[in-house]
Structure 1
């Protein structure tokens, strides 16, 4: 390609036999680098590979088509320089059948080739979204009707707690939301069991150890960090030659408060400190030569700090820890009903789809996963089918990796060659561009690799 690459880009293009995570902002040319890497692999070196030995995964059909077009143009450009290159000519013919595809199209291909491994009727069809929506509505209505007929006391308590009108719509939404979250996990049943156990809170120690509490405390600490930065900026402005120096005592008092708050490590500790927050008043002392603009900036920053602390108090520390524990214990039976209802819905929805011999996008991922991963001696390991597919692809290239969820991650990991010591995944993305949160994408996957890969020796560990 007739363009210059930076040193970092060229390293990404040339590095082989490692897992690579390329983190770059929008407009930085990361997709162009991905295309150039592909062209390099199929056209350079002593033994260039065929393009159908690469799996290139994107997240939309339009992106896949664009990628195929860009690769085609790059191959044509190479052929203009080397018109007699038989290998490049072969790539032109292979390009249309090459696996440059969405994750769902790849899963469909796996299912078409290995349907017999999961006893699936090969005549299945992918249901239209409208059909799936209607089917869900019918199934959830049947499930709720049966529960109403059974008349369990805890079910009626659940309805009273979460149905705010004569309609069951709020309850149906809760069930569908929990179902969607569970289907973004590789093993929904196990995920549901784990989440239900998180409501088994018997003591303050249990509450502090729970996953949701750890997430809450992490969020609070992050917000406090942001507020400390704003406080530091306000202090910096006060120390300018024309800054409102008289405001410093109040701001230093705020800094001490924020520092004390950030040192807490349990909900009880946070609650005790948030419960007694007071703020010193800004001095009204007149000063000569003070910039009105700087005074306004400092006041605005301080107001943001005070509002941030007020919001945290209102959201998370509006009651004593013992009262929160009592609320968690009270809601446990209600949550158990929600999990049971969702499990019933999932089973009956699956049965209805099987009866009609249709599948949806969740099924594409989970059926592919069932074909590619199995449990052996308590561990999830690649199946024979996964090993066969792994032999086909020299490298797996994933565009917009920040939009992956855990099911997709598990699928692609199962067909990689990492298990035999040959890491071969190339992942490109920008966590700030994650647009599929509504599809339960997990940008955390990107960040976990970003942090762990950055800490590894790129020459010895196969990651960068």
Structure 2
């Protein structure tokens, strides 16, 4: 039996909550995970024992999954040698061969195959090769654009081509449509994501703006960061609180706390915007007869938490200015989103026709999630999957999955960049038209 460190033992013994273990390679994360599972399976109290198939155990590679299954089997065999009459352990040795110990890809594929009818898939589907799917995407978007060119009253479509391309080239617009489709498909419900984006663009008053989900998420996430910043300020204050001659430095820390507490007390985007506009207090200096070493440490730490604050601060623009940006962007973004929806519908039909699915698990029926939650009460994920080419989402919650936070912070900044882009392209197009008219007149 290995000797666990205090931290490792804490992870093994923690129950009834979600935990995240972060450690370097070779530090024993997998061993701790296996021990944590086995202690729940082999608990001395029969009322607290779990079955091995109560767990969903996900790892990064097939080799790692096989190795983990082998480790669990070996430990169960050893436990049976010590207690040969224990029927529970014998049962686990039978169940371990059918336990969900796999890669995230395999687990998602199993879900799709098991519930293909609910997911409206053909029973004889296959995972599309990325090269083939790229050709299908280009074929579909070319077909869509051909239809659009032939339509009457297609001024909006042609204006988008002018906006995104140069010299009557439509490749820029195609890339924009494919990019939006790709982003939306990283969410469990792509159509809902686009609908929400369109709804957000149609907001034209401060009250409705404050009710937008991503704005509320922005406020929530910023406040979470502020709590972290506040802790860093308090640590910085303790660093100098007992030092003679540091009264002005301590006062700086107290003013920083006041600033943060003021923002934390705000209940809306408008209030947060008003309070983040207040500048940080000028840092005080210690008395001349003191050593500057500690002051330099204090100053360095202060700059670090100010950077953390600034990095998360997306509240520098007023609600009024954002609504004005919305108004300007609507003219271009709404038609662009609608064009993307048309492309996605055609692409989905083409994949269905070819009986192909992509290597991404999108939204599953809520009932499937509830069913899985009953089957597997505990989930363990070994090793990070952030290096995967596509994002995955596995949720057994009773409600909807929420993926908005990872885009919420960048949304407002993206709007401002979009406005600059559209403004610059309008200028370019206007200049091109003037040059063309001058040429024709000459």
Flag whether TM exceeds 0.5 (same fold). Answer: yes
SS at match of 2:201: coil
Q: Provide, for residues 193-241 of structure 1, a one-character-per-residue CA deviation record: whole Å limited to 9, x for no partner.
A: 2342222212011111112222222343344444434443443333332
Native 8 Å contact 2:55 2:377 kept in 1: no
Aligned residues: 388
The TM-score with structure 1 as length reference comes to 0.65
- Which has the bigger relative contact order, CA under 8 A and spacing at least 6? 1
Shift in alpha-carbon separation, 1:221–1:152, aligned structure 2, 3 A: farther
Asked if 1:427 corresponds to 2:379, the answer is: yes
Measure the CA separation in 1 of the matches of 2:161 and 2:38.
57
Measure the CA separation in 2 of the matches of 1:99 and 1:231.
45
Shift in alpha-carbon separation, 1:223–1:110, aligned structure 2, 3 A: closer
Matches within 5 A, 1:315-464: 315-317=314-316, 319-362=317-360, 369=364, 373=365, 382=367, 411-417=368-374, 425-428=377-380, 435=386, 439-441=390-392
SS at match of 2:42: helix
Shift in alpha-carbon separation, 1:86–1:237, aligned structure 2, 3 A: closer
User: 2:301 matched to which residue of 1?
Assistant: 301
Measure the CA separation in 1 of the matches of 2:387 and 2:369.
18
User: 1:133 matched to which residue of 2?
Assistant: 134
1:294, CA displacement in angstroms? 0.7
Measure the CA separation in 1 of the matches of 2:284 and 2:137.
58
Measure the CA separation in 2 of the matches of 1:87 and 1:254.
58
User: 2:125 matched to which residue of 1?
Assistant: 124
Q: Alignment RMSD, CA only?
A: 4.6
Shift in alpha-carbon separation, 1:50–1:325, aligned structure 2, 3 A: closer
Measure the CA separation in 2 of the matches of 1:254 and 1:119.
55
Matches within 5 A, 1:4-403: 9=12, 12=15, 21-26=18-23, 27=28, 29-36=31-38, 40=42, 56-62=56-62, 63-78=64-79, 80-81=81-82, 95-96=96-97, 98-109=99-110, 111-112=112-113, 115=116, 120-150=121-151, 152-159=154-161, 171-172=173-174, 174-241=176-243, 244-277=246-279, 279-280=281-282, 282-283=284-285, 286-288=287-289, 290-304=290-304, 315-317=314-316, 319-362=317-360, 369=364, 373=365, 382=367
The TM-score with structure 2 as length reference comes to 0.68
User: 1:459 matched to which residue of 2?
Assistant: none
Between 116-125 and 325-334, report the one with greater CA deviation: 116-125
Runs of 5+ in structure 1 lacking a partner? 13-18, 374-379, 383-410, 418-422, 449-464
Native 8 Å contact 1:181 1:440 kept in 2: no
1:126, CA displacement in angstroms? 1.9
Measure the CA separation in 2 of the matches of 1:95 and 1:312.
45
